[in-house]
Amino acid sequence: MSHHTTLHRGRKTAAATLIAVVAAAALTACDAKDGKDSKAGAAAAPSAAASPADASSSQESAGQGQGAPAGPAKTARTAAAKHTSPAGSPAGPASGARCTTDVLKTGWGADGGGRPDMNSDQQQTATVWLKNIGGRTCTLGGFPGVRITGTDGTAWDLPRSAKKPVAVRLKPGAHTSFTLTLLPSTSAGDRKIAPSVVTVTPPDEKKHFQLKWPYGGALLDQSGATHPGTYVNPVNAG
């Protein structure tokens, strides 16, 4: 082979080597660019994938920090307020000073009339009203204390019913009431109490009223029973 042929082959080999180097460099550059794009995409993923629950939690936390509840809590609180505090209805302790015995007057009877049938052997109802005779609005709620004293001197402190007390505001001259559930006795063999005087102590008070029993008859004496048929209900029980 001639020197010319050897030189020609050498040039060919050099050219091929140069092309391979350029191709490798181009491939490396592409890989580097692709790698940078992949990292950028990975960094952006958590932000794009944030769930609505996370966003809601952040919004609620911010609202609580500012002292104002976020949407659902505000709606629930508003609904509860509407349900428990309609105008002219029962109100909480902050609605006025407590009604004391000194600003109250009491007596028997209900607006609709009616009286217990003491000749029956079924449960009956007697109503006691309480009127605000003071000069300011006051709040009354809870169970009154009631003691029935019989004609023979026997005393019976009535137990409370399971009804839930609800406070009520009484403007000057306004009144509310509570009821006594009674179980009369008409059988000769029963142990009885023939009421003479009923002592009424308003809720949270120590002073009391004494009312003469106006209905006659007798009550079945269940003063030692766990669930007697005679008991007192809370003020404004409805």
Q: What is the DSSP secondary-structure string of 6-44? A: HHHHHHHHHHHHHHHHHHHHHHHHHHHHHHHHHHHHHHH
Q: Give the Cα separation of 66 and 205 in Å (integer).
A: 42
Per-residue confidence (pLDDT) for residue 138, from 0 to 100 = 97
- Global pTM reads 0.60
CB 176 within 8 A of CB 236: yes
**Residue 184 Ramachandran class (φ > 0 left, ψ -120 to 50 alpha, else beta):** beta
CA angle 210, 215, 216 (to 5 degrees): 105
Q: Give the Cα separation of 208 and 231 in Å (integer).
A: 18
Per-residue confidence (pLDDT) for residue 114, from 0 to 100 = 82
**Residue numbers of the chain with a pLDDT score lower than 50:** 1-94
Using one digit for the tens of pLDDT, what is the confidence trace for 144-177?
999 999 999 999 999 999 999 999 999 999 999 9
CB 176 within 8 A of CB 90: no
